[in-house]
Amino acid sequence: MEGLFWLVCTIAVYWGAKRLYRRVPKVYLTPLLVTPVLIIALIEIGGVSFDTYDSGSGYLTKLVEPATIALAVTLYKHLDVLKKNAVAICSGVICGAVVSIVTSVEMSHLFGLGTAITDSLAPRSATTPIAIAVSRSIGGVPTITAVATMITGLLGLVMGPYLVKWFNIRSSVARGVLFGTSAHSAGISKALEYDAVSGSVAGIAMMLTAFITLAVAPWLMSWI
């Protein structure tokens, strides 16, 4: 019963945050940032455990997969754009996925984060289920990877629009690859705010990133 309350509460806060964002579209007011902050505050005030919260709200998490699968429709509708830009998209994703692993590992070493954390951070650009699978295979801690992947999505969503503006990324295809490669599903939702082509390219980029991370990460990790 309490779980149900938190489910309704999450939806209500999200709905409010979304309306606020529509009226004041500032990056720091993105619902993905505002909603968790408010919910965490409510949980802390109410002295509720995460398990209680998740017993109801967890139903929302179960919709991530159907929503990701729904991208197949977008993909189908924009197939021609993807075919015509296949080489550019693949090149961008391969560069991005490799850079993601290398920079994560190098910086973790630099900051003296332990091996377990380093290995957990390496696959974080991939979509959560893939990132967790890779993390497990290279010796990371799946829970740290899950959190790091979420933070990556959140930060990608917040920083992406600034990079698009500052570096003058005008092509829809480039924007899609930028968001899909770096910030998985969260990136897709941001890419969709630009246009439908960006969104479907981001979907493709997310899938390719997942495959490449899966294939390359274990091999790359033994080199760096």
Q: Which is nearer to other proteins, 208 or 223 (CB)?
A: 208
**Terminal-to-terminal C-alpha distance of the chain:** 50
Helix 31-46 to helix 50-61 angle (10° resolution) is 150
Least distance to other proteins, CB of residue 191, Å: 11
Q: Which is nearer to other proteins, 159 or 224 (CB)?
A: 159
Task: Say how many C-beta atoms besides its own lie within 10 A of residue 30's C-beta.
Answer: 21
Least distance to other proteins, CB of residue 137, Å: 9
**Binding to other proteins in span 174-193, by CB under 8 A:** 174-175, 177-179, 181-183, 185-186, 188-189, 192
Whether 9 contacts 2, CB under 8 Å: no
Least distance to other proteins, CB of residue 195, Å: 9
Whether 172 contacts 194, CB under 8 Å: yes
Q: Which is nearer to other proteins, 171 or 220 (CB)?
A: 171
What is the C-alpha separation between 206 and 180, in angstroms, rounded?
5
Least distance to other proteins, CB of residue 34, Å: 10
Q: Is 31 in the site for other proteins (CB under 8 A)?
A: yes
**Binding to other proteins in span 113-152, by CB under 8 A:** 113, 117, 121, 124-125, 127-130, 133, 143-144, 146-148, 150-152
167-174, long-range: CB < 8 A, 24+ apart: 172/197, 172/198, 172/201, 173/81, 173/85, 173/88, 173/89, 173/197, 173/198, 173/201, 174/88, 174/92
Least distance to other proteins, CB of residue 125, Å: 6
**Binding to other proteins in span 69-88, by CB under 8 A:** 69-78, 80-81, 84-85, 87-88
Find the binder of other proteins among 4, 25, 46, 58 (CB under 8 A): 58
Whether 188 contacts 199, CB under 8 Å: yes
Token code pair at residue 78:
């924009």
